[in-house]
Amino acid sequence: MDISVVIPLYNEEESLPELASWIERVMQANGFTYEILFIDDGSTDSSFEVVKSLASSNPNIRAVSFSRNYGKSPALNIGFRKAKGDVVITMDADLQDSPDEIPELYRMITEDGYDLVSGWKKKRYDPLSKTLPTKLFNATARAVSGIKNLHDFNCGLKAYRSAVVKHIEVYGDMHRYIPYLAKNAGYHKIGEKVVHHQARKYGHTKFGLDRFVNGYLDLGTLWFQSKFGVKPMHIFGLLGSLMFIIGFLAVLVVLILKIISINSDTYYFYVTNSVYFYLSLAAMIMGLQFFLSGFIGELITRNSPERNNYLVAEEI
């Protein structure tokens, strides 16, 4: 099978028939063998009924329905597990992404040899409250992930070589950083294609302003995992040692001042009046906590089934 189109959807009943027939048209025009995987993320409208009736008239349509709303990432993840195509294409259900991009995305994966091609909504039809923070978000994501050539990490329209989606796990809200997940899994050929974007035709956006806060927190998590995931002591041990050194120096200062004051008749030094005393206390306590976090992290890592998962590129 050439292509699996994975479509997460949450209350998108109005868009689905148009989307399905548009994809069908594109696939037939290009002679692709394909499947459309609708992942109903616990919709409360009649989305899944619509999907069922679409599937009854097109055998290429498959669908999964969650029992409740889990989020876009879990929806994508189950789609990735089920996809059978050589190339997997993800797309939003709200008709903001155009199925006409599919043939070129497919070509970039199969002929240009990309592992992942991300859409870039160069001209966006979204409110300013969304486009402006998005620019900042992407700049940070580029800097942290080291994927310098991507302008639009969170574009719903993306294409993957099948192996990529089988080796990454999208969970929580990590769909915003799939290129980063792919890079961490060892897939480096990440490309970009400018795609057409349309204003939402039906319904409304499913993400609020908290997307930006959560987005930044998740980026921090991913960065930490990719750097220290299997060696937490390297960071916590370093921070802990630093704290101990600061604490030790502060104690030394307190001690010296005390000795000086004991030998002087004019000057009396109260340890508890000194800023260095408090500095040493705080630094020692923090240092101990860093070390403990490191040890606990190491114990957890040692028991993690992921600790020895490597992706072998070639073997002779």
The binding site for Mg ion (CB under 5 A) comprises 92, 94, 96
The residue among 50 and 243 lying less far from ligand UDP, judged by its C-beta, is: 50
Tell me, what amino acid is at 133?
Answer: P
- Quote the CA–CA distance of 177 and 170 in Å, as a whole number: 9
261 class by beta-carbon count within 10 Å (0-12 exposed, 13-18 middle, 19+ buried): middle
Residue 179 binding result from Mg ion, ligand UDP, none, given CB thresholds of 5 to 8 Å by partner type: none
Residue 221 binding result from Mg ion, ligand UDP, none, given CB thresholds of 5 to 8 Å by partner type: none
CA distances (Å), 259 to each of 165, 177, 262, 274, 286, in order? 66, 57, 5, 14, 27
Residue 253 φ then ψ, to 5°: -60, -45
Pairing of strands 190-194, 116-120: parallel
Residue 192 binding result from Mg ion, ligand UDP, none, given CB thresholds of 5 to 8 Å by partner type: none
The residue among 92 and 192 lying less far from Mg ion, judged by its C-beta, is: 92
The residue among 65 and 110 lying less far from ligand UDP, judged by its C-beta, is: 65
Residue 10 binding result from ligand UDP, Mg ion, none, given CB thresholds of 5 to 8 Å by partner type: ligand UDP
Can you spell out the DSSP letters for 217-253?
HHHHHHHHHHHHTT-THHHHHHHHHHHHHHHHHHHHH
The residue among 153 and 236 lying less far from ligand UDP, judged by its C-beta, is: 153
For residues 113 and 192, is the Cβ–Cβ distance under 8 A? Answer: no
The residue among 94 and 101 lying less far from ligand UDP, judged by its C-beta, is: 94
State the residues that interact with ligand UDP by CB under 6 A: 8-10, 12, 41, 69, 71-72, 75, 92-94, 96, 156, 205-207
Residue 41 binding result from Mg ion, ligand UDP, none, given CB thresholds of 5 to 8 Å by partner type: ligand UDP
Least CB distance to ligand UDP at residue 211 (A): 8
